[in-house]
Every structure is written in C-alpha cells, then in structure tokens.
C-alpha cells in the first residue's frame, strides 16, 4: 500500500512518454550506470526496464538513454543531456502542478477512507 498521492504522466499516442516510474528509472540509470543494475535496484526485471527505456527513446525526438552493447544484459548505459533536460522539465511540471493544486489535493485525500 501507499499513501494517497497524485500520479501525473505525459501520454502520447496512448503510451506513457514520461511518468513517475520512468523518471525513477532514469535516476537509477544515472546512479548505477547500466540498465540491468538500475532495474535490479528497483526490483524490476531487466526486460521491463529495457521496455520502459525503449518507450521513452521512441516517444521523444532524441534518445534519453544510450546503452552500449556487452554481456548478456548489455553493457553500460548513460542518460543523455536531452534525457536530463526532459527529466528536469517533467519534475518542474510535477512540482508546479502540485503546488498549484495542493488545496484540492488536501480536500480529496481527506475525503478518502483511511486505510490501515
């Protein structure tokens, strides 16, 4: 379970171009330097992480992540400058959206049932 919260995603052509999971994955790739290590840190399968990267890279005009070949689960991976720019812009969007709607979010969350 998790506390009540807003989930804000950018959809394009019915696919999630950017969202909380993809943003977290970009952070993890930056931290760990490969898709497989990033996936592991998020308790996610390598295949799933690769799919998320693929959706992002195909949604935007430039790749957000560049990976180099090597090994069964690929070699290293880096978040590009373009990827950093998209990630920062997404986080700015989330931050501004939250600030502007905080009053309504309080009303909604206080109307929810309390979960144990």
**Interface residue list for a copy of itself (CB under 8 A):** 1-14, 16-18, 58-62, 82, 85-86, 89-90, 92-94, 96-101, 104-105, 107-109, 111-113, 115
Q: How far apart are CA 83 and CA 40, in angstroms?
A: 21
**Measured CA distances, 63 to 33, 102, 105, 110 (Å):** 16, 33, 34, 41
Closest distance between a copy of itself and the C-beta of residue 75, in Å?
26
Residue (68 or 100) nearer to a copy of itself, CB: 100
Q: In whole angstroms, what is the distance from residue 12 CA to residue 44 CA?
A: 24
Q: Which is nearer to a copy of itself, 72 or 112 (CB)?
A: 112
Residue 45 or 109 having the CB closest to a copy of itself: 109
Q: Least distance in Å: CB of 96 to a copy of itself?
A: 4
Report the residue number, 61 or 71, with the smaller CB distance to a copy of itself.
61
Residue-wise DSSP of 67-108: E---STT-S-EEE-HHHHHHHHHHHHHHHHHHHHTHHHHHHH
Q: How far apart are CA 6 and CA 36, in angstroms?
A: 28
- Least distance from a copy of itself to the Cβ atom of residue 72, Å: 30
**Closest approach of a copy of itself to the CB of residue 34, in Å:** 25
């Amino acid at each position: 379970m998790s506390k009540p919260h807003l989930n804000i995603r950018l959809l394009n052509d019915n696919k999630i171009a950017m969202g909380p999971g993809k943003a977290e994955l970009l952070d993890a790739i930056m931290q760990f330097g490969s898709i497989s290590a990033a996936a592991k840190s998020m308790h996610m399968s390598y295949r799933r992480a690769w799919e998320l990267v693929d959706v992002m890279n195909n949604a935007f005009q430039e790749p957000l992540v560049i990976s180099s070949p090597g090994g069964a689960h690929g070699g290293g991976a880096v978040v590009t400058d373009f990827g950093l720019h998209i990630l920062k812009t997404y986080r700015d969007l989330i931050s501004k959206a939250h600030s502007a709607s905080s009053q309504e979010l309080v009303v909604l969350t206080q109307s929810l049932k309390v979960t144990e």
